[in-house]
Amino acid sequence: MLEELLSGLNPKQKEAVTLAPRSALILAGAGSGKTKVLTTRVAWLIQTSQVNPLQILAVTFTNKAAKEMLIRISAMLPINTRGMWVGTFHGLCHRLLRAHYRDAGLTQAFQIMDSQDQLAMIKRLLKALNVDDEKYPARQLQYFINDAKETGLRASQVEAHDDYTRKQTELYAVYEEQCAKEGVVDFSELLLRCFELLSRNELLRAHYRQRFSHILVDEFQDTSRLQYQWLRLLAGDKNSVFAVGDDDQSIYAFRGADVANMQDFIKTFSVEEVIKLEQNYRSHGNILDAANALISHNKNRLSKSLWTSEGSGEPLRVYEAASDMEEADFIVDEVKALRVQGVPLSQAAILYRSNAQSRVLEHALFSAAIPYRVYGGLRFFERQEIKHTLAYLRLIANSDDDAAFLRVVNFPTRGIGNRGLEQLQDLAKERGLSLWKAACLSHLSGRAGTNISAFTNLVESMRETCLDLPLAEAIEHVVEASGLMQHYRSERDGADRVENLNELINAAVTFIGEYEKQKSDDANDSELTAFLSHAALEAGEHQALPGSEALQLMTVHAAKGLEFYSVFLSGLEEGLFPHENSISLQAGESGSLEEERRLMYVAITRARRRLYMSYAQSRMLHGQTRYNVASRFLQEIPEELLKRLQVENREQPATSLTRVDGMATPVSRVIEASVWRIGQNVVHAKFGQGIIINSEGRGCDARVQVNFHNAGPKWLALEYAKLVRV
């Protein structure tokens, strides 16, 4: 039985599974079979009679992973897994609190609030206390409370260094009292309450330390400080902790994950065994070599190097596009070619750093009639912030649009409650009017009437302003004047939504360019009406139905844990990937350059056989064209692993510059030479890497303007610049 249990393991996997019962760290690289090792370890401990199944505590990060673990254990051993403690941190803490609700200071029937329930309670409290919800937004207070709890702090323990934080802390205390009164807990409370219970109750702590002699933790690199402290408390000095993780795939610092826990674990638990699972069963050698070379530039890591016995495979394909639209068209053409070669759409994925990038890609797929699915998110025109903006635009185009009216009449919040809206709807129904016309005729008393009137005045004002503006500028005005942009800027997690609003402006610029070329002579739709129709059509078509064959679109964060035959990694430009905010951050901070590099590592290792990496010389941002420098991550991959795809028949800009043997040469001296062009990446001895964005003059008077990554835009005389083509 034991031989059969261990038969499918490689030597390192077998070493990890059969370790003596002491704390160990298993450094499991991407595609190295960590789940197999974790579940086989549990089965081996039970099969060798080292532990009773009820003495095992296994922690995962998703309920899906917990279920998979139990299924695999059941397949390996003829045991009933129902009584085993296998689950997420929150799930296990909930189970423990249910068993000891009195000791935890909870009612027997305590209920768990989800995020929306929690936000609703906070809004009720702010209203009851007459707190200005503009100065202290409910969502910001929610973030403040959850952040405090996730670092182990009660309201009485938060240090307030200013009046604003002091007020938030007071509201946190009131929130705690209200939760206790209603007998409810939020998600952050589950872990904190459980940690506090075990910290102060010595008998209970001793009981569970004796109960769980073996603790196994999956995805250890994603643990927060409080989760790590909870594990330390539960393990004590004698129990063994079998931690499996990969510091090179730690990409969730924004959720509180602390990659430093892995280094601390080795010291705190006196770990003698750090076993590296480096054999990869997913990708070909060139892909792994690229990932290894890239991640080696991170300094604060536990070193390992992935390898495979499957051969080198194909080189990584790199494509330099003139624009983001050309990049999207290239990807679509390659997807079509893969289909001809027999690769199913479901085995190809397009990855991007920012959700806003999906809009151009979706448009290209829509135009090519290729079914796609946005994994873990919504299509561009279905996203909340986009639908809100379109609703304002629909009201400007047609004030009788009741659905648009109801969507934004109180968003962002402007004090129009359900009762006021009910009265307005009753009036509209009674007189056979649209909600807009009823609102204009309404004489509702009190705050609701005043605020509804203010809303209609706002929309009228936006309509008048937009009449004289080009479409893109009109949309920019609406997202600002409506308060949408400010609303999302004030949200802690609103950065993606702000990027999407900016991308909507880009979409308008692109649409008008295409609309002017294609509209018929008898077309009488306004630009706004035509754009709204375009948005509705793209939102309603080509999103694949669940279970149907479809190309996968997703952010790199969403791709973690997945794999595909072919991966398209788009938008590899400085400022986009790595993100511009990462450059100035320290290594341990959320969003630092090292975390961005780990994110790139995750992206590369999603590909099994073929990886495309692309970037655009120019990309639309805020309705304006921005010229870009190729991502530094491309330079960190050895050139011999890459195949740079050539662009055929690309139109050259009217203004061109000359070069000989890679060095800039005075134009007057050139007899036969290849061409410099706008959008080309170059290097200067003093200013470093940049991209040519403009040029003027001829002969010895020729000058180029280069946008340098570190020094900004500079005008340089070609005769003396000595630029080198990248």
Tens digit of pLDDT for each residue in 181-237? 989 999 999 999 999 999 999 999 999 999 999 999 999 999 999 999 999 999 998
Choose, from 150, 186, 189, 219, the residue flagged as catalytic: 219
Active-site residue, 464 included: no
Alpha carbon distance 234, 195 (integer Å): 9
Active-site residue, 162 included: no
Choose, from 34, 304, 359, 597, the residue flagged as catalytic: 34
Closest to 199 measured CA to CA, from 154, 259, 263: 154
Active-site residue, 606 included: yes
Task: State residue 590's pLDDT score.
Answer: 63
Residue type, 316: L
Q: Is the peptide bond before 713 cis (omega within 30 degrees of 0)?
A: no
How far the first Cα of the chain sits from its last, in Å, is 59
Task: State residue 665's pLDDT score.
Answer: 33
φ, ψ at 91 (rounded to 5°)? -65, -40
Choose, from 18, 35, 529, 665, the residue flagged as catalytic: 35
The contacts found for 338-342 with CB under 8 angstroms, 24 or more apart, are 338/566, 338/610
Give the helix, strand, coil percentages of the chain, each rounded to 5. 50, 20, 35
Which residues does residue 525 pair with via DSSP β-bridges, in sequence order?
Answer: none
Closest to 139 measured CA to CA, from 464, 497, 601, 541: 497
Alpha carbon distance 641, 633 (integer Å): 13
Task: State residue 695's pLDDT score.
Answer: 76
List strands edge to edge, sheet with 712-717.
674-677, 656-660, 663-664, 724-725, 681-684, 688-696, 703-708, 712-717
Residue with tokens 């995805």: 219
Active-site residue, 34 included: yes
Where helices occur in 579-708 by DSSP H, the ranges are 593-604, 632-635
Active-site residue, 705 included: no
Which residues does residue 58 pair with via DSSP β-bridges, in sequence order?
Answer: 86, 216
List strands edge to edge, sheet with 24-28.
85-88, 56-60, 214-217, 240-245, 24-28, 273-277
The contacts found for 153-161 with CB under 8 angstroms, 24 or more apart, are 154/192
Closest to 456 measured CA to CA, from 441, 436, 474: 436
Alpha carbon distance 275, 26 (integer Å): 5
Cβ-Cβ contacts under 8 Å for 226 (sequence gap 6 or more): 150, 151, 152, 191, 192, 195, 256
Choose, from 218, 247, 326, 362, the residue flagged as catalytic: 218
Q: Are 233 and 195 in contact (CB under 8 A)?
A: yes
Task: State residue 674's pLDDT score.
Answer: 38
Choose, from 39, 40, 223, 249, the residue flagged as catalytic: 249
Active-site residue, 425 included: no
Residue type, 634: L
Task: State residue 418's pLDDT score.
Answer: 82
| Residue 523 burial (CB count, 10 A) | 10
Which residues does residue 620 pair with via DSSP β-bridges, in sequence order?
Answer: 625
Low-confidence ranges of the chain (pLDDT < 70): 1, 442-443, 517-525, 539-547, 586-590, 622, 647-677, 679, 698-700, 719, 726
Choose, from 41, 276, 497, 606, the residue flagged as catalytic: 606
Residue type, 222: D
C-alpha separations of 24 from 43, 44, 405, 673 in Å: 17, 16, 59, 62
pLDDT tens digit sequence for 496-538: 899 899 989 988 888 888 777 666 555 556 889 888 877 877 7
Angle between helices 527-540 and 384-397 (to 10 degrees): 140
C-alpha separations of 108 from 92, 101, 104, 179 in Å: 17, 6, 10, 14
